[in-house]
C-alpha cells in the first residue's frame, strides 16, 4: 500500500465520545516533542486499524504544537475505516499519521468570514474559529446545523465566551420544516464586502450552499468534503475488472473496491486517502463505463479515467491500465 510520504507514529493521548456516534482523539508525540505545524482547515491522513487510509480535519487551535485533535464519525455503511477507529482505538494506542496538508485554508484576502457546518463538518471549523479569534481583525460567524444536541460535536467548546457571540447552533430534529434558512446570509454576494464563505458537511447541505451562492464570485466560496460515495448502493452488483498490463481478470464483489481486489492479488497501486478525495489512485480507463463515485475527476476526465478506490462499473466489465 502506498502511504503519504511523511508518516508520524503518534500516541493516542485521549479517546473519548464527542457526540452520539462521534469519537474525539487527541494525538501526541510519544516522546513529548513538537508536531509539524498546521493552519486552519488542514487535514491529516490516518492509517486506521483495519489498514485503510482515511483523512480527517484537524480540529484544535493551529497555535498548538504539542497535539493534533480529530473527531471521527462512525459510518455504519462505510468500508470499515471509521468503524475500526471508533470501535478499536483507545488511549495509549499508536497510530500512523501523515503530515498536515491544507486544501481548505482561510483566504488572506477575505475581510470577513462566514462558516457553515453540518454534522461532522464542524471539525475544520473549530481550527478556523481559533485562528480567526486569535487574529482579531476579521469579523466571523459560524452557523452549525445538526439534528439534535446529542449529535452535536464540540458543543461545550462552542459556548466559550470569545466564540459564543459569533456562533449559531441550530437543531432541526430531522424535520425539513425546521431547517435553518441560510438565504438571508447568502442573498448578497460577498464581492463588495470581501466576505468569504466556507462550507463543510453532508452533500445535501453543500449542494444547497452551492445553489445559493451561484451569484457569488467563485473565489469567495470554499467547500471541503471527505465524503465521497464510499457506501454500498442497494443496486450494486459484482463486476469484472481486467488489468490490461497482465491480462488478469478479477471479480470485484459488492462492498469491495477495485483497489482492494487488485492489491489482494499482489498488484501495487498508488493510493493515499482510499476515499475518493485525493487523486492518488487515478487510473486510465481503457474500456467499459465507470460508475464514478469520487470527488476528484473533472467531467472531461471521466470517459477515460477512474478512481479505483471508490468507483465501480455501470456494466459487467471494466478494463483499466494496471
Q: Choose between 1 and 250: higher pLDDT.
A: 250
Residues 83 and 152 in one domain: no
Interstrand relation of 221-224 and 195-200 (parallel, antiparallel or unpaired): parallel
User: Considering only CA atoms, which of 23, 35, 18 is closest in space to residue 89?
Assistant: 23
Q: What is the mean pLDDT of the chain?
A: 91
Kindly report, residue by residue over 52-73, the tens digit of the pLDDT. Answer: 788 899 999 999 999 999 999 9
3-state DSSP: the chain helix, strand, coil percent, rounded to 5? 20, 30, 50
Instruction: Please compute Rg for the chain using Cα positions.
Output: 20
The reply to whether 230 falls in a domain is no
pLDDT higher than threshold 70 for residue 2: no
The reply to whether 232 falls in a domain is no
pLDDT at position 1 is: 41
Three cell numbers written together for 144 = 452549525
Residues 218 and 118 in one domain: yes
User: Considering only CA atoms, which of 51, 309, 314 is closest in space to residue 322?
Assistant: 309
The reply to whether 105 falls in a domain is no
Residues above pLDDT 70, as percent of the chain: 95
Residues 206 and 134 in one domain: yes
Give the number of other CB atoms < 10 A from CB of residue 185: 17
Say whether 91 sits in a helix, a strand or coil.
Answer: coil
Cβ contacts of residue 273 below 8 Å, gap of 6+? 45, 53, 54, 55, 226, 280, 309
The neighbouring-strand residues paired with 70 are: 25
pLDDT at position 20 is: 94
Three cell numbers written together for 264 = 489482494
Residues 94 and 117 in one domain: no
pLDDT category of residue 230 using cuts at 50, 70 and 90: low
Kindly report, residue by residue over 90-136, the tens digit of the pLDDT. Answer: 999 999 999 998 989 999 999 999 999 999 999 999 999 999 999 99
Three cell numbers written together for 105 = 485554508
- Domain edge (last residue) among 73, 98, 123: 98
Residue 58 is part of a domain; what is its CATH number? 2.40.30.10
DSSP state of 83: H
The reply to whether 103 falls in a domain is no
- Identify the domain containing residue 48 by its residue range: 7-98
Residue 246 is part of a domain; what is its CATH number? 3.10.20.30
pLDDT at position 271 is: 79
- Domain edge (last residue) among 224, 253, 285: 224
Length of the chain: 322
Three cell numbers written together for 125 = 471549523
Three cell numbers written together for 211 = 445553489
Kindly write down the DSSP assignment for every residue of 30-63, as one continuous string.
TTSPPPPP--TT-EEEEE-TTS-EEEEE--S-TT
pLDDT at position 224 is: 84
Cβ contacts of residue 108 below 8 Å, gap of 6+? none
Residues 24 and 49 in one domain: yes
Residues 132 and 212 in one domain: yes
**What torsion do the CA atoms of 230, 28, 71, 93 make, to the nearest 10 degrees?**
70
Residues 207 and 146 in one domain: yes
d(CA 277, CA 247): 28
Say whether 165 sits in a helix, a strand or coil.
Answer: helix
- Domain edge (last residue) among 66, 98, 130: 98
Residue 188 is part of a domain; what is its CATH number? 3.40.50.80
User: Considering only CA atoms, which of 106, 273, 263 is closest in space to residue 196?
Assistant: 106
pLDDT category of residue 3 using cuts at 50, 70 and 90: very low
Give the number of other CB atoms < 10 A from CB of residue 96: 15
Kindly report, residue by residue over 4-57, the tens digit of the pLDDT. Answer: 456 899 999 999 999 999 999 999 999 999 999 999 999 998 999 988 788 899
Q: Among all chains, which residue has been given the C-alpha cell 478499536? A: 88
pLDDT at position 52 is: 79
pLDDT category of residue 280 using cuts at 50, 70 and 90: confident
Q: Provide the number of structural domains found in the chain.
A: 3
Amino acid at each position: 500500500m502506498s502511504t503519504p510520504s511523511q508518516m508520524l507514529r503518534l500516541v493516542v493521548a485521549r479517546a473519548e465520545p464527542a457526540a452520539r456516534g462521534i469519537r474525539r482523539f487527541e494525538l501526541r508525540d510519544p516522546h513529548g516533542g513538537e508536531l509539524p505545524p498546521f493552519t486552519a482547515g488542514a487535514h491529516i491522513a490516518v492509517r486506521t486499524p483495519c489498514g485503510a487510509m482515511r483523512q480527517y480535519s484537524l480540529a484544535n487551535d493551529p497555535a498548538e504544537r504539542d497535539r493534533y485533535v480529530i473527531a471521527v464519525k462512525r459510518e455504519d455503511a462505510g468500508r470499515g475505516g471509521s468503524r475500526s477507529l471508533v470501535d478499536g482505538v483507545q488511549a495509549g494506542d499508536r497510530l500512523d499519521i501523515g503530515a498536515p496538508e491544507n486544501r481548505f485554508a482561510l483566504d488572506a484576502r477575505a475581510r470577513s468570514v462566514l462558516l457553515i457546518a453540518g454534522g461532522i463538518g464542524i471539525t475544520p471549523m473549530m481550527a478556523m474559529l481559533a485562528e480567526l479569534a486569535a487574529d482579531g481583525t476579521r469579523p466571523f460567524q459560524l452557523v452549525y446545523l445538526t439534528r439534535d444536541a446529542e449529535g452535536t460535536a464540540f458543543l461545550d467548546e462552542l459556548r466559550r465566551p470569545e466564540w459564543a457571540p459569533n456562533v449559531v447552533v441550530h437543531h432541526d430534529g430531522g424535520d425539513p420544516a425546521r431547517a435553518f434558512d441560510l438565504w438571508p446570509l447568502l442573498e448578497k454576494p460577498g464581492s463588495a464586502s470581501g466576505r468569504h464563505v466556507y462550507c463543510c458537511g453532508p452533500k445535501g447541505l453543500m449542494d444547497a450552499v452551492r445553489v445559493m451562492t451561484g451569484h457569488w464570485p467563485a473565489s469567495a466560496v470554499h467547500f471541503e468534503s471527505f465524503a465521497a460515495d464510499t457506501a454500498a448502493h442497494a443496486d450494486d452488483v459484482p463486476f469484472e475488472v481486467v488489468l490490461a498490463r497482465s491480462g488478469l481478470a478479477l471479480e470485484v464483489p459488492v462492498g469491495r473496491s477495485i483497489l482492494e481486489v487488485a492489491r489482494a492479488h499482489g498488484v501495487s497501486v498508488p493510493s493515499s486517502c482510499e476515499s475518493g478525495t485525493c487523486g492518488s489512485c487515478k487510473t486510465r480507463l481503457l474500456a467499459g463505463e465507470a460508475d464514478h463515485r469520487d470527488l476528484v475527476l473533472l467531467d472531461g476526465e471521466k470517459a477515460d479515467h477512474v478512481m479505483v478506490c471508490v468507483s465501480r462499473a455501470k456494466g459487467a466489465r471494466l478494463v483499466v491500465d494496471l
